[in-house]
Amino acid sequence: MSLLTVLPGAVSQGIIWGIMVLGVFITFRMLDIADLTVDGSFALGGSVAAVVSVNLGLDPLVAILLGMLAGVAAGLVTGILHSVLDIPAILAGILTQIALWSINLRVMGKSNTPLLNVDTVFTRLASLLGVSQAVATLIIGIVCATVVILLMYWFFGTEIGSALRATGNNEDMCRALGIDVRVTKLIALAFSNGLVGLSGALICQSQKYADINMGTGAIVIGLAAIVIGEVLGYFAKAFGSRLVSVVAGSVVYFLIRALVLQMGLDVNDMKLLSAVIVAFALAIPVIAKRHRIRSGYRRDTASAMREAPDAPAMPEQADEGGER
C-alpha cells in the first residue's frame, strides 16, 4: 500500500480523533489536569454506540448521541470523586478508568463488538453522495470538528465558560470572587469526557467495530496532539486559533504514524513511538525557552561590555632607589 493511499485515511482519522483531543485540551490546558478517565470514556463511547446499534437497532445518530452522553456520565463520576470527595484529580481519573474497564466489558458482554452489517453515519453519507467511505469519513470528520470548535468557542465566551477558564488560571482568586470551583471543575470534566465519548462513538462507526482496548493510550495521543498543535500554532494567541491548532496537531500526529508504519515499523511499537513523540514535543518548548534565555543573556552581557567605559590606566610606580 503506497503512502498516498493511506494519507486520506490518516487525515480523516486525525480529524475525528481531534474531537477527543479537544476534550483533553479542556482539562489539560484549562484546568491543568491530566485526566486519565479519557482512556476509559473513549472506549465507553464506542462500546455504547456499538451495542445500541447492534442489539437495539437504533439510528446511528442516536447511537453517537448516547455514546457522547455515556462519556459525560464518566466525566461526572471523575468530577464527583475529585470535587466533592476531594480525591486528587489524577487518582480520581485512574479510579474511573479502572472501573470503566469492567463497565465496558459489561456493556458489550465481550471484548469486542463488530458492526459489519449495521448502518452507520459514514455508510449513509457515502450512499447518499455516491462517494467512497473514506471521503464520507473525511466530510463527517470536518463537519463534526467544526461544529465542536464553534460550540467550544461560544461556550467559553459565556459567563460559565469564562468562570471555568478562570478556575484553571487562578483557583484561589475564583474562590475569592465567589465562584464555586467545584461546580466549574465538574462541568469541565463532564464536557471534556463528553467530547471524548463522541469521538469514541465516531471512531467505532468509522472502523466498524468497538473494542475494549480502543481507548488505550488515548491520553498520550491527546497530549502529543496538543503539544504538536501548539508548536504549529506558536504565534496563534486567539482562543479559536488555538482550538484549530489542536485539531491540526492531531492530524499531524496521525500523518506521522502513517508515515512511520509505511517505513516498516512494527504495529506493536506504536505505543513506544507515541511516548517518544510526546516526550519530544514536550521538550521542544523547554529547549526553545532555555535557548532564548541564554541568547538574551549573551546579548545583554555583550552589550554591557560594549557600553562600559574604558578602565583608567594605572600610574607607573617609580623603581625602588630611583628618583623621588
At 256-285, the pLDDT tens digits run: 888 887 877 777 777 787 778 778 777 877
H or E element in which residue 319 lies: none
d(CA 191, CA 179): 18
Q: Which residue has the higher pLDDT, 7 or 18?
A: 18
pLDDT value at position 3? 58
Q: What is the DSSP code string of 188-254?
A: HHHHHHHHHHHHHHHHHHHHTEEETTTTTTHHHHHHHHHHHHHHHTTT--SHHHHHHHHHHHHHHHH
What is the model's pTM?
Answer: 0.85
Evaluate if residue 318 carries a pLDDT over 70. Answer: no
- Of all residues in the chain, the percent with pLDDT exceeding 90 is 40
Whether the pLDDT of residue 178 is over 50: the answer is yes
Angle at 28 between CA 23 and CA 31, to 5 degrees: 105
pLDDT the model gives residue 139: 92
Q: Which amino acid is at 46?
A: G
Answer yes or no: is pLDDT of 9 > 60. yes
Average pLDDT over residues 212-220: 87
Write out pLDDT tens, residues 70-121: 999 999 999 999 988 989 989 999 999 999 999 999 999 888 888 888 888 9
Residues 6+ apart with CB under 8 A from 15: 138, 141, 142, 145, 247, 250, 251
